[in-house]
């Protein structure tokens, strides 16, 4: 790997450690210059190198671009997979075969980056706690609840959810009541639980749809809270 970015010190904090480990992941693999020159790459070479210096929090598109080549496996992606239900920046992960080892590694790195983003922004005070407001369950979240109910209904255990979800049952009740929305990891877990009772369920497609629906529901709640606080009127 070229020596353009300064070598981060993993002892100097989470951001430095992330950049250091990301550099280690890329050792022996295609170079940053090669990735930057690829026709599908939209992140600049400067941004890719900056992500490896640990001097600032990189954008998700930049991290995703590096991970696609260093943790994923572009040669094994399914180019015909329907993009409608995929989150654009990380869609390459869902294009990998369900049992491909790169898929799990990429998921681990994506989750680590998302945790890093939350931690860094919180420490910098970029996300001060907003005033609490009460909002109705938005239509987008209602659609998610219906989709989750329909999915549970496929098992025939809608009246005995504890048999299906076990210790997860309390969380599921909150999702169905509109009190909270599951994370991507939880969506995957819910899909796996249901799939254990419905063998012919397309886990990849169902999990992808659930994650997208949950993401839309979260965005709708943010929108409605912002409106309720008077930050905008539409």
Global pTM value: 0.57
Locate the domains of the chain by residue range. Answer: 10-123, 139-228
> What is the pLDDT at residue 42?
87
Tokens of 215: 């993401």
- Distance, in Å, from the CA atom of 58 to the CA atom of 45, rounded to the nearest integer, reads 13
**pLDDT 10s digit of each residue in the chain, 234 long?**
444 557 888 888 899 999 999 999 999 999 999 999 998 888 899 999 999 998 889 999 999 999 999 999 998 888 776 554 456 788 888 888 878 888 889 989 998 998 898 888 777 665 555 567 788 999 999 999 999 999 999 999 888 888 888 877 888 999 999 999 998 878 888 898 898 899 888 888 898 889 889 989 988 888 888 888 775 444
Please tell me the predicted confidence (pLDDT) of residue 177.
Answer: 93
| DSSP code at position 4 | -
Distance in angstroms (rounded) separating the CA atoms of residues 5 and 17: 14
Contact 76, 96 (CB under 8 A): yes
**CB of 68 closer than 8 Å to CB of 32:** no
């Amino acid at each position: 790997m070229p020596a353009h970015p300064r070598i981060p010190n993993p002892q100097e904090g989470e951001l430095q450690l992330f950049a250091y480990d990301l550099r280690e992941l890329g050792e022996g693999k295609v170079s940053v210059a090669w990735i930057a020159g690829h026709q599908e790459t939209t992140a600049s070479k400067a941004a890719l190198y900056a992500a490896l210096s640990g001097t600032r929090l990189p954008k998700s598109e930049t991290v995703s671009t590096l991970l696609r080549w260093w943790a994923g496996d572009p040669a094994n992606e399914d180019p015909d997979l329907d993009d409608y239900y995929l989150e654009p920046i990380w869609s390459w992960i869902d294009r990998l075969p369900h049992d491909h080892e790169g898929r799990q590694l990429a998921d681990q790195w994506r989750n680590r980056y998302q945790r890093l983003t939350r931690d860094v922004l919180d420490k910098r005070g970029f996300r001060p706690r907003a005033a609490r407001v009460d909002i109705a369950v938005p239509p987008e979240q209602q659609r998610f609840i219906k989709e989750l109910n329909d999915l549970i209904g496929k098992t025939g255990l809608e009246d005995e959810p504890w048999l299906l979800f076990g210790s997860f049952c309390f969380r599921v009740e909150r999702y169905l009541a509109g009190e909270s929305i599951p994370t991507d990891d939880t969506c995957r877990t819910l899909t796996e639980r249901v799939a254990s009772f419905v063998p012919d369920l397309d886990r990849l497609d169902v999990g992808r749809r659930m994650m997208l629906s949950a993401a839309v529901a979260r965005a709708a709640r943010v929108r409605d809270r912002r409106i309720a606080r008077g930050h905008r009127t539409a």
